[in-house]
Structure 1
Amino acid sequence: MLGLVLTAGGARGAYQAGVLKRIGEIAALRHKPSPFRIVTGASAGAINGAMIAALSPNFREATQQLARLWSEVTVRDVFKADALSLGANGLRMLQDLTFGGLLPGAGVRSLLDASPLRAFLAKHLPLEGIAESIRRGHLYAAAVSATSYHSGKSFTFIEGTPGHPLWVKARRVTLAVRLTIDHICASAAIPIVFQPVRLRSEVGDFYFGDGGLRLVTPFSPAIRLGATRVFAVGIRCPRSADDLSQTELITRRDEEPKMPPPPLSQICGVFFNAIFLDHLDTDLDHLKRMNELVRRYGGGAVTSTQETDRPAMEPMRVVTPLAINPSEDLAIVAKALAHKMPRLVRYLMDGLGTPDAQSADLMSYLLFDSAYTRALIDIGYRDAAARIDEIEAFLLADAVGAVAPRPVSVLKPRTSRVASESSRPA
């Protein structure tokens, strides 16, 4: 089966919409079901994955609606940017810093109030279509990952064909659910910036945040669900402005004593880059190394370290990946359009530090303005167009007669075991 892996951060998710829009225009896919029978998403990638999964019967329509969603989004669709909301949040933050635990109340949960996002997604995401896509056989499973702030574990919520795999691993838990807007909002809740989202389940109510926090192996859910080929859309430019070459470091050596300490905005940018950008590239390298080992030594070379209460592990298999990343640094695009951010939010961000090239990374995750998102859609569209022959060959390689393999290293836990794993403190 062919899997789609989408991990993104905030407004950068618009780039993925552009890539998918161009893929939807492939002649062989027009008016056809989605080629992706397994769709996994985390962070803003959960929004994109949910749209593709829900509209699987007509892939082109799904990609067009996704591009339309991102091209029309505004800051006020995602978080409150008015003076009253920002001022009230600032006063609560000052109160917490001044009086600490002396005053009752839950305190500030985030820098911004992202409550408008739920209404926006409820209006645009037809999540009821996921069940229909599964019933009609166009979709095997859709998975959304989020991070539990109570246990520190990565939870993957799966809506799929009856009998789909579930697994429990170190710091990773899966649950079979009917995906809702709350699952999507939880996965897309940028840490610190957006408030956590409470999810109800048979094991209790817990607060969750961005799926990128703990999902250090973003290819894993798709592979464990049975994918033999995975197409991934990243959001990191290989020539990112924050990647200083050795030449640049040598050039700056004489200036080092004059360099000021990094402002908080730059630190936040590096923090978000570590969450949203690095995991996909690292896991892709790991997958390629594992493929080489399987080709060299065979898939049966696993296992003596497995726990005695677990069933025998399936042989490992080669999983063929294809990934696409931006050809331009999205932070530089955001910096050029920073004036589109509401004035009060821009004032808040400027207060975190000077708006230099590296501090623009933070802006690139929060600039939910149509001018910026349309620019990212255009970049994604062009990048996919430049590789469209390669992408088409990859997507259509197993379009006929494909049979899903048995998943590898998968454990189907009892409900009670999932409950104990999810409620155990970190």
Structure 2
Amino acid sequence: CRALSISHPAPSVPNPKSVTKFGGVSAGPAVLSGTSAGGINAALIAAGKSPREMLQFWKSIADDPPVTASAAFFGSALRTLARLSLEEAARWLGTPQPLRAFLHRVRNHRSLRPGNVLALWVEFLLTARFELVSRFLEGIREPFVVDTAPLRARLVDVFGGERVPNRGVRLALNTVDAHSGRVIRWVTAPAPVTRSADYVVVDAITVDMVLASASIPLLFPPVRVGQHLLWDGGLLVNTPLAPAVALGAEEIVTVLVTEPAEPQPGPFRHFGRAVERTVDSFLENAYNIDRKLLLERNRVTRLQGGPYREVILYEAVRPGRAAFFNAGSYLYFERGILGAMHDAGRRAAGAWLAAGPRVDHLDEPAAELALHVE
């Protein structure tokens, strides 16, 4: 059977049937594994939603974002900032040590331009008073910035209740236990490996499991499911291949949102690009770890046999380079951007199909492995 493993993309996910119908097979995937926004998409596909209905769901998110900024977060942040400012002012008046430390940093910033003045204070904070950062964070009494209760209500509406209806697809959603840091995988079908503590077999995926899979740490609140307090699975397993294998997949198609590497790498043009590449590096590394483990498992199976079967992993479907895939695109749900992402997903799927599709393998190009020495 064929599986679809979906990463963070929201509307950029291509038609699942279009990327799994090659080889004369027209049915959609039999196994779905997703995390974060990809977990929402996996649940929508499992519930039988069409690509048009899925896009409409994300556009409704754009028209009326279902989140509420936490007044408790910002209120406690302001109170803590005011309290620390008063305490620090009293400290400056009571001892010359803070002033000496401050003047020691002035030599690095002699200009009175606003940027230099701000840089001076930040440098002083980071080098001489960094404990204020910890005290400020500990004074914020809400562990998240925005409440996602409206998003939960939207999910209940789109799924028609608290449970995700299933049209016979084996579904896995991936989350992270906020206290233990352990991956918790919610799956709708038993398999030998699902006896592991990482796997929880359930009769049906619930809305809370979907919400937990997309609850970005610090930005969104963790979600309580049973005894677990859960965060976004993308924190550790951005593109979860293991559940797809555990649920019996024989061929896996992976959908990524990270763009290809720079054709001509050079200095970053701006700070936003550095942030974007940092996030993409984490996501790409998480996928490559799973990918290499699966391909190495295949190699050992071919050489030694044993209880495992070989699983075909195709090269990932990923969008081409585009301006709208930037540092903010993971959370930017403006309607026009969503449409552009959706079109990028369709183009990526078309190019992927036209290319073969190609089977992935461990052999990497020699040019990437060799260090060029002048």
Q: Could you state the TM-score of these two structures normalised by the residue count of structure 1? A: 0.62
Q: Is the 8 A contact 1:15 1:377 kept in 2?
A: yes
Match for 1:230 among 252, 259, 267?
A: 252
CA contact (8 A) 1:96 1:107 kept: no
Q: Are residues 1:94 and 2:123 paired?
A: no
Aligned to 2:96: none
Partner amino acid for 2:316? I
In the alignment, structure 1 residue 124 sits paired with structure 2 residue 126: no
Counterpart position of 1:13: 10
Unaligned ranges ≥5, structure 2: 84-133, 360-374
**Matched residue type, 1:94:** L
**Does the residue aligned with 2:294 lie in a helix, a strand or coil?**
helix
User: What is the 5 A alignment of 1:8-157?
Assistant: 8=8, 12-16=9-13, 18-20=14-16, 22-23=18-19, 34-55=27-48, 62-74=50-62, 76-80=64-68, 85=69, 89-96=73-80, 107-126=141-160, 133=167, 138-139=168-169, 141-157=170-186
- The CA deviation string for residues 61-108 of structure 1, in whole angstroms up to 9 with x for no partner, is 53332232224431633323xxxx466642222335566889x99812
**SS of structure 2 residue aligned to 1:77:** coil
Greater shift after overlay, 222-231 or 65-74? 65-74
Cα distance in 1 between the residues matched to 2:319 and 2:163: 33
Secondary structure of the 1:123 match is: helix
Per-residue displacement from partner, 1:322-348 (whole Å, max 9, x unpaired)?
243434335x315xxxxxxxxxxxxxx
Amino acid at match of 1:65: E
Q: Which runs of 5+ in 1 are unaligned?
A: 56-60, 253-258, 301-314, 335-359, 395-426
Q: Which residue of structure 2 aligns with residue 255 of structure 1?
A: none
Q: Please tell me the residue identity of whatever aligns with 1:282.
A: I
Alpha-carbon contact 2:176-2:183 (below 8 Å) kept: yes
Counterpart Cα distance in 2 of 1:325 and 1:26: 14
**Deviation string, structure 1 residues 324-380 (Cα, Å, up to 9, x no partner):** 3434335x315xxxxxxxxxxxxxxxxxxxxxxxxx41x111111111111100000
Amino acid at match of 2:229: Y
- Asked whether the 8 Å contact 1:54–1:127 carries over to 2, the reply is no
Question: Residue 333 of structure 1 aligns with which residue?
Answer: 324
Percent identity, aligned pairs only, is 23
Q: Which amino acid aligns with 1:41?
A: G
The answer as to whether partners of 2:163 and 2:206 remain within 8 angstroms in 1 is: no
Q: Report Cα offsets for 1:282-320 as digits up to 9, x if no partner.
A: 32233233323333x1323xxxxxxxxxxxxxx222110
Q: Residue 295 of structure 2: which of 268, 272, 288 is its match? A: 288
Greater C-alpha radius of gyration: 2
Check conservation: 1:19, 1:381, Cα contact below 8 A: yes
Does the 8 Å contact 2:159/2:165 carry over to 1? Answer: no
CA contact under 8 A between 1:233 and 1:323: conserved in structure 2? no
How is 1:310-325 mapped onto 2 (pairs within 5 angstroms)? 315-325=307-317
User: CA separation in 2, counterparts of 1:115 and 1:107?
Assistant: 18
Partner of 2:91: none
SS in 2 for 1:142: strand
Counterpart AA for 2:341 = L
Structure 1 position 112, deviation (Å): 2.6
What SS is found at the alignment partner of 2:65? Answer: helix
Counterparts of 1:75 and 1:278 in 2: how far apart (Å)?
33
Question: What secondary structure sits across from 1:387 in the alignment?
Answer: helix
Match of 1:167 among 181, 195, 210: 195
Tell me if the contact between 2:6 and 2:239 (Cα under 8 Å) persists in the aligned partners. no
SS at match of 1:178: coil
State the TM-score, normalizing by the size of structure 2. 0.69
Q: CA deviation at 1:270?
A: 5.3
Give the conservation status (yes or no) of the 8 Å contact 1:50–1:127.
no
1:221 aligns with 2:263: no
Report the Cα distance in structure 1 between the residues aligned to 2:314 and 2:3, rounded to whole angstroms. Answer: 10
Q: Give, in angstroms, the shift of residue 385 of structure 1.
A: 1.6
